[in-house]
Chains A and B, each alone.
Chain A
Amino acid sequence: MYLLRSYFSGFSITISILAGVLILYISYPLLGLAYIGGSINWVESLTRHETIHAFLLSLGTATVSTLILAILGIPLAYVLARFHFRFKFLLRLVVILPLVLPPLASGTMLVGVYGPYSFLGRNIPLDYTQSVLGIIIAQTYVASPFMILPSQAAFEAIPERFETMARVLGKRKSEVFIRVSLPLAKTGLLVGLLMTWIRSIGELGATLMMAYNPHTISIQIFEDNAIGGIRNSVAGIVWVVILSIIALGVFLYLKRDRTVGLGW
């Protein structure tokens, strides 16, 4: 009786309505997609060469970008969580910058320093723009906070006494990092890896500026829509939605089953 009453209290009803409105708002475009999908040839759309190529390119570049950010971002997150030094707040500001900057602005800045007339472009002539390298530069820049911030929070959540005890038990700092800090921060790091990967796949603004070609899936959707409207771009959207659902499913499964490790 008490439970029933608590479900129907004024507060519960109000908060449920507000939550429901937002869920409907988020789901509505997906419903629209399903409506439009009824009138197209799915097999032909999903297997179109340009869409498949763009999707695979996004998967590949996002994976490389995520690996680069894992190698550089996890140590940076550890520094932010555990090292104490003056002006650390400046470092935090720099880390958060790609998150607050509009991606197009980030992309413009990146073209400024990696473009053919930039210092790097003139002195170390590599294909920084309009190339796979350009896509990876754009993705790593824009997605970096998604790796660093959850990892930092994960390291900060570990009570320092565990790391101290590992050193008392004879382990060097590097061993403590590998054998204690990384495994204990596992869930947060996993969140960071997945968010970085998904954000990299979905990246558009900075990539538009750095590498319109070759097309990533986001640019392909953008172009398909410009040419033929939503019916023309629905396949690309469906591929990304399927991928996101699989990635989130895997994450929820790993987080739920605490016995599953990541090889640590």
Chain B
Amino acid sequence: MTLEIIDLTIVFHSFTLGPLSLRIDEGIMVVLGPTGSGKTTLINTIAGIHTPDNGKIILNGLNITNVPIESRKVGYVFQHSTLFPHLNVNENILFGLTSSEKQNVERITMVRKIIGDLGIDNLLHRRIDGLSGGELQKVSLAQMLVRKPKIILLDEPLSHLDPPTRDKLRIELRAILRKQCIPAIYVTHFEEDVLALADSVSILNNGRLEGTGGLEQILNSSLPTPSFLSHLISGSNYLTGLVAKSEDGLTSFEIGSHLLYTLGEFPLGTKIGVLLRHEDIILSKEKIKTSARNILFAQVANIVHKSNLVDIYLKINGFELVSRITKLAMKDLDISINDNIYAIFKASAPHVVRKEN
């Protein structure tokens, strides 16, 4: 399935979105942009809530620009809960199905599977006003998925959740969305959302598309990173590796020939993505005996001064890291380019933001 947006333009009083063109194949495109950049307008237009002034929206070769909302078969999860308060969870989930679909054995099996996968079996007879933020969004996902949509649109669905729930649901969401094998557009301004969910990223600023591309391509590109994305990921290293061992709440994962440690348990072979803050990496000229689990031998590739702090760019066999230290620490250690050095961080420092089986 493919979604194509061609020269789309929408004018709202003094604000203009576009003209912009995008192509999304199966997978998750995260649209990033500050408040008022036109992200929600874009997905509302794809859903049919707004009518574009110009341009086309093509879904699987069919022009759906003027197709009414109810006929588009779009799955949409809004920022605020849109579950109907006069219906219970089960009635909400089945709301979008026709009477014949509700009696179709195959569809009923699919509905049960989705409910099971989301872990909301125990909520079916509950009222909406008694659910937590995380539960509300899971029920919204189920309500959307049971209709077998042709495209999924998500407008910051995790933004109103408390941080622990957000972190947990974010990790689950990628697997849920990828399983559908259809294009999904996810609008957010959270750095972790991008890294946890994106197959591709589009940057929207003031109604204009500033850049688009694959996540890895953008992160690893030698070209200048689009300004908004670089702002979002500045301050952290993003690393991906395969889980080699996981027990007692400690996981080791491989990056090149190195084995790094993080907290949590994941199935062997899982590809995980972690964020590691620049400040969390300490440097030592000598190999020291320490409680920290991660000790890497590195070479200083570059030194960038930033007011009171210094970013030390480290080249490690197979990947790169940035460590942020004080000017005083740099003076004490007498660090220069090409020096050999040890980068040290605790297992609790890398924060798992992405998981792929």
Which A residues have a C-beta under 8 Å from some C-beta of B?
A: 159, 161-162, 164-172, 179-180, 183-184, 186, 261, 264
Contacts and interface: CB of A to CB of B under 8 A. Distances in A.
A166 B85 contact: no
B69 A167 contact: yes
Contact of B85 (A167, A171, A184, A261): A184
Contacts of A166: 84, 95
B116 to A, nearest CB: 21
Contact of A169 (B80, B86, B143): B143
Interface residues of B, number: 23
A161 B78 contact: yes
Contacts of B96: 169-171
A169 B95 contact: yes
Given A161-B80, A165-B78, A171 B86 contact: no
Contacts, number: 50
Nearest to A167: B69
The 5 closest A-B pairs by CB, nearest first: A169-B96, A165-B82, A167-B69, A183-B86, A168-B76
A171 B70 contact: yes
A91 to B, nearest CB: 25
A261 B147 CA distance: 28
A70 B312 CA distance: 74
B75 to A, nearest CB: 8
B73 A165 contact: no
Contacts of A159: 80
A164 B49 contact: yes
Contacts of A162: 82, 84
A264 B75 CA distance: 26
Contacts of A180: 84
B141 interface: no
Contacts of B147: 169-170
Contacts of B86: 183-184, 186, 261, 264
Interface of B: 47-49, 68-76, 78, 80, 82, 84-86, 95-96, 98, 143, 147
Nearest to B47: A168
26 contacts: A161-B78, A161-B80, A164-B69, A164-B82, A165-B76, A165-B78, A166-B95, A167-B70, A168-B47, A168-B69, A168-B70, A168-B74, A169-B147, A170-B70, A170-B71, A170-B73, A170-B98, A170-B147, A171-B70, A171-B96, A179-B95, A180-B84, A183-B84, A184-B84, A186-B86, A264-B86
Nearest to A161: B82
Contacts of B48: 168
Given A159-B80, A170-B70, 17 more contacts: A161-B78, A161-B80, A162-B82, A164-B49, A165-B82, A166-B95, A168-B69, A168-B74, A168-B76, A169-B70, A169-B147, A170-B71, A170-B98, A171-B96, A180-B84, A186-B86, A261-B86
B174 to A, nearest CB: 23
The CB with the most chain A CB atoms within 10 A, among B70, B74, B147, is that of B70
B38 to A, nearest CB: 18
A172 B70 contact: yes
Nearest to A168: B76
Contacts of A184: 84-86
A187 to B, nearest CB: 11
A162 B87 CA distance: 12
Contacts of A164: 49, 69, 82
A240 B319 CA distance: 86
